[in-house]
Amino acid sequence: MSGNAITRRGFLAGTAGVIGAAGLAGYMSFDAWERAYADDSDTHGTVSTVHSTCNGCSNKCGFTAYVVDGKLRKLIGDERHPMAKGKLCARGYAYAEIAYSKDRLTDPLKKNDKGQFEAISWEQALSEIGAKVQQIVSSDGPGALAMVQDPRPSGSYYAKRFMSALGSPNVYTHGAACYESRESGIKQVIGANSWTSDVANAQMTIFIGRSYADGLRPSALMAMEKAHEAGSHIVLVDPRFTNSQKFADEWVPITPGTDLALVLALCQVVTTEDLYDADYVAANSVGFDEFRESIAQYTPRWAAEKTGIDETTIKRLAHQMAQAAPACSIESGWRGPSGCQYKNSGELARAVACFNALLGVYNQKGGALLYPSVSAGKLDEGKFPSPPKPQAAQVGSDEFPLAVDGSALAAVKAASEGSVKGFFFYNSNMVGGYSNPSYLAQVVSGCDLSVCVDVQMSETAAACQYVLPDTSYLERSELPAFAGGAVPSVSMRTQVIDVVHPNTKPVDEIFTELAQACGVGQYFDFTMDELAAAQLASVGVDVDAARQMGTVYFNDKAFSYGSTPNWKTPTGKIQFASDACKKAGYEAVPSWIEPDVMPMGNELRLIEAKQPIHSHTMTANNETLMGITKKYDLTRAWINRSFAENLGIADGDTIEVSNEKYTGKIGVHVTDRIVPGALYLPSAYGVTVEDQHTAYGVGLRPADFLAFKLEPGYGSAMAHEVCVTVKKVNA
């Protein structure tokens, strides 16, 4: 049993203390676990419970783990956790298998001259990586090192601190293949990276390319259901009829890549018909005159041509929204059309933020809410000394100045040009899908140094020289995860089970030891537990209490309706016009930009999106989730029925999908649930790593069809700027 476990009796009594450090937990071999699992009897055993957080996607939902004799049995979503609200999704239940997966990385690996991995000791791995880092730093400076990490509580802190200690500002997230353009565009307008639509209390909400039931976050799906039952008008603008349609009133199918045209036209209607909140705009914004002048050209008729949505519908949606204001909003989106998918993603995000501003919905009940957040305060510099701020500018910041988090793909570009020489990855499968995988693999493997820290052999790990085995999320405690919200909170990932493979290490230890090996260990002279305690103490929370409760709320920082946000833009106002955008080569006010490619003749635009059972390739190797995939043939491509009939393609046929980058075969789902000009592929499949025995070779990977090219100014992947042709196999 983990040292952090609480016995059932203690849990019920509420008196058990949280004892022991993660490092003291014992080991249990995989074989021993497997035997014990097979012989398991539910009728005996010590039951203990631990609050922790899921790693099945970036929501990190809180759950209570029931551990019987050291083995994880049941998981129950935590009522107190703001994302979970008492529920987990299929990934949450199934992904827990990762701890005992046969495909776990168990030892540090180094690639030999033949390109095969060999197990090496931690000492060898650390000393060789340390020497190479120091070599790169002395020859090219620390700016030649880059780090990509998909944010997790400990990972984002340690990865960033490690790079700062080395003097490199080049720390990136997966944003360029997810949210980068959306957050960057929104920030230009309102000074915050996002908002939360108050769906549950809205009279009307328009979603553009986001599906709460597919990119599933339990609390968001529940809010949508509540709104639907209360009679709120919910509109889904999407090239696909998604699973969220169950709680929506309208599907507005749209030609993919043209969402910007729709939103510009919505702005046009409310502006030219004087339906906007003139007082709000006057009091809160700059650049409105320029915006109004420019927006006049984007008539509903013009947008109808672009989007395939008829003019009457566009006008009606604008009128309905104006009538519902301020209890309405266009939802912020996620990875969708404003996130990273098109050449006009960033501009779409800006246009959406401007539309919400026109209706004055920010912080209004039912509108778009800028929730407060809490973060750790200043810590004792003696114990936790801050590394000096890196001197160099972040790689990519000159070409992609609008990117709020920078662009990992800009660092790839720099590596291809020779200015980035060392790449680190944590919990990130960049190679497996941020852009074209074979191109990314070639660039990463061509670097002087490449290191991947993960739990399984991803495409990224396979491209690296060194692979360091992390413990799974169930086998380690992590730093506090602060989250903004109606009431800001902090949640704890706490060790649930003992370490399964004795030669794996938790992320905090890996980066601490890497720092020591690179000669910057002085910035890591503390344990994760000490840091967690200090971070929480800085906001008045006791770490033991936090671990025991799972989630702690900061009630004194709670959101209240009706306040005017503090607009954190350069002008301190909502910016209908942005100097930064103009400098980056855009019009100062959001303006129409054609998608980079448009399907011609029999071509289809390749679009991809999440299914509720997978988080891209990260969960594809999970046996339970892949079991669902296979039972329901969920790898199939979707194409529109009338389009398919013209090509003589029937539901269930195998088709060949092809373009200049890639050709592959896949089963097809012929359906009315997709617009005629698009082909949909789910984003989770097509894993090319043989070591992932469950996922390998199943389905197609959309990114294989994609060319490596980046959205101007924002640096995102433009994941949907790709066309393919299809034909029936053996026709």
Partner 1 sequence: MARYGMLINTKKCVGCYTCVAACQRQNNLLPSEQFIRFEERETGTYPTLSVETIPLQCMHCEDAPCAAVCPTGAAHIGTDGIVQVDQGRCIGCKYCMAACPYQVRVVNEETGTVDKCRFCTVSANDGTAMCSCVEACPTGARIFGDLDDPDSEISKAIAELNAQPIAGDLTKSKVFYVR
Of 172-180, 293-301, 434-442, 672-680: span binding partner 1 (CB under 8 A): 672-680
- When asked if residue 730 is in the footprint of partner 1 (CB under 8 A), the reply is no
Residue at 645: amino acid letter: E
Query: Of the two residues 27 and 632, which places its CB atom closer to partner 1 in the complex?
Result: 632
Number of residues interacting with partner 1: please give it, by CB under 8 A: 50
Stretch 376-405 residues interacting with partner 1 (CB under 8 A): none
Cβ nearer to partner 1, comparing 229 with 660: 229
Task: Examine residue 221 and tell whether it contacts partner 1 (CB under 8 A).
Answer: yes
Residue with tokens 């959309």: 702
Contact by Cβ (8 Å): 322, 355: no
* Identity at 473, one-letter amino acid code: Y
Residue (152 or 217) nearer to partner 1, CB:
217
> Amino acid letter at 159?
A
- CB-wise, 96 or 541, nearer to partner 1? 96
The residues near 442 (Cβ < 8 Å, ≥ 6 apart) are none
Identify which of residues 254 and 324 has a Cβ nearer to partner 1 in the complex: 254
Comparing CB distances to partner 1, the nearer of 228 and 233 is 228
Cβ 597 to partner 1 shortest distance, Å: 23
Positions in 264-303 near partner 1 (CB under 8 A): none
Taking the least distance from each CB to partner 1, the nearer of 573 and 673 is 673
Peptide bond into 570 cis (omega under 30): no
Q: Give, as ranges, the residues between 65 and 84 that touch partner 1 (CB under 8 A).
A: 73-77
216 binds partner 1 per the rule CB under 8 A: yes
Give the nearest distance from C-beta 341 to partner 1 in angstroms: 21
- Could you tell me the two tokens for 366? 């039912």
Tell me the closest approach of the beta carbon of residue 431 to partner 1, in angstroms.
27
The single-letter DSSP state of residue 389 is P
Q: Provide the minimum distance between the beta carbon of 218 and partner 1 in the complex, in angstroms, as a whole number.
A: 5
CB of 676 to partner 1, least distance (A): 8
685 neighbors 635 (Cβ within 8 angstroms): yes
Are 608 and 680 in contact by the 8 Å Cβ rule? The answer is yes
| Subset of residues 18 to 57 that bind partner 1, contact rule: CB under 8 A | 40, 42-43
Q: Is residue 231 near partner 1 by the rule CB under 8 A?
A: no
Distance CA 82, CA 483 (A): 8
x/- string (CB under 8 A) for partner 1, residues 624-663?
xxxxx--xx-------xxx---------------------
- Please give the structure tokens belonging to residue 106: 């168990």
C-beta of 8 vs 557, nearer to partner 1 = 8
CB of 623 to partner 1, least distance (A): 4
Nearer to partner 1, 179 or 241 (CB): 241
Q: Which of 8/365 has CB closer to partner 1?
A: 8
What is the C-alpha to C-alpha distance for residues 200 and 39, in angstroms, rounded to an integer? 47
Q: Tokens 């969708």 appear where?
A: 336
Site string for partner 1, 673-702 (x = CB under 8 A): x-xx--------------------------
Q: How far is the CB of 37 from partner 1 (least distance, A)?
A: 8
**Three-state secondary structure call for residue 327:** coil
Q: Residue 402: which of 584, 189, 178, 170 has the closest Cα? A: 584
Burial 647-678 (b: 16+ CB within 10 A, else e): bebeeebebbbebebbebebbbbbbebbbbbb
Among 246, 383, 665, 727, binds partner 1 (CB under 8 A): 246
391/213 Cα distance (integer angstroms)? 44
Which of 81, 87, 187, 476 touches partner 1 (CB under 8 A)? 87
Residue 88: CB minimum distance to partner 1, A = 7
- Angle (nearest 5°) at CA 351 between 197 and 590: 160
Distances from the Cα of 704 to the Cαs of 360, 373, 657, 681, in angstroms?
Answer: 42, 38, 11, 12
C-alpha–C-alpha distance, residues 702 and 681, integer Å:
6
Determine if 665 is a binding residue for partner 1 (CB under 8 A).
no
Residue 715 near residue 394, CB atoms below 8 Å:
no
Is the CB of residue 464 less than 8 Å from the CB of residue 444? Answer: yes
- Contact (Cβ atoms closer than 8 angstroms) between residue 134 and residue 518: yes
Would you list the DSSP string of 599-627?
A: --TT-EEEEEE--TT--GGGGTT-HHHHH
Which pair of tokens denotes residue 509? 């230890």
Is 7 an interacting residue with respect to partner 1 (CB under 8 A)? no
The DSSP element (H or E) to which 222 belongs, if any, is helix 218-229
Q: What is the closest distance, in whole angstroms, from the C-beta atom of residue 68 to partner 1 in the complex? A: 9
Q: Which stretch binds partner 1 (CB under 8 A): 143-151, 156-164, 586-594, 617-625?
A: 617-625
Asked if residues 318 and 269 have their Cβ atoms less than 8 Å apart, the reply is: yes
Asked if 247 interacts with partner 1 (CB under 8 A), we say yes
Q: Of 90, 178, 262, 412, which one interacts with partner 1 (CB under 8 A)?
A: 90
**Binding residue (CB under 8 A) for partner 1 from 244, 427, 428, 495:** 244
Distance CA 593, CA 622 (A): 40
Minimal distance in Å, beta carbon 54 to partner 1?
Answer: 12
Shortest spacing between CB 216 and partner 1, in angstroms:
6
- % helix / strand / coil in the chain, to the nearest 5? 35, 20, 45
Nearest Cα neighbor of 162 from 327, 390, 448 is 390
By CB under 8 A, name the one of 153, 175, 253, 422 that touches partner 1: 253
Pairwise CA distance, residues 637 & 681, whole Å: 5
Shortest Cβ 477–partner 1 spacing (Å): 22
Q: Which is nearer to partner 1, 217 or 233 (CB)?
A: 217
- Site for partner 1 (CB under 8 A): which residue of 7, 10, 110, 251? 251
Nearer to partner 1, 546 or 698 (CB): 698
Site for partner 1 in 585-614 (CB under 8 A): 612-613
Question: Which residue, 516 or 624, is less far from partner 1 as judged by CB?
Answer: 624
* Residue 426 tokens, joined: 């944590």
**Which one, 471 or 640, has the nearer CB to partner 1?**
640
Binding site for partner 1 (CB under 8 A): 40, 42-43, 73-77, 87-94, 96-97, 213, 216, 218, 221-222, 225, 241, 243-247, 251, 253, 612-613, 623-628, 631-632, 640-642, 671-673, 675-676
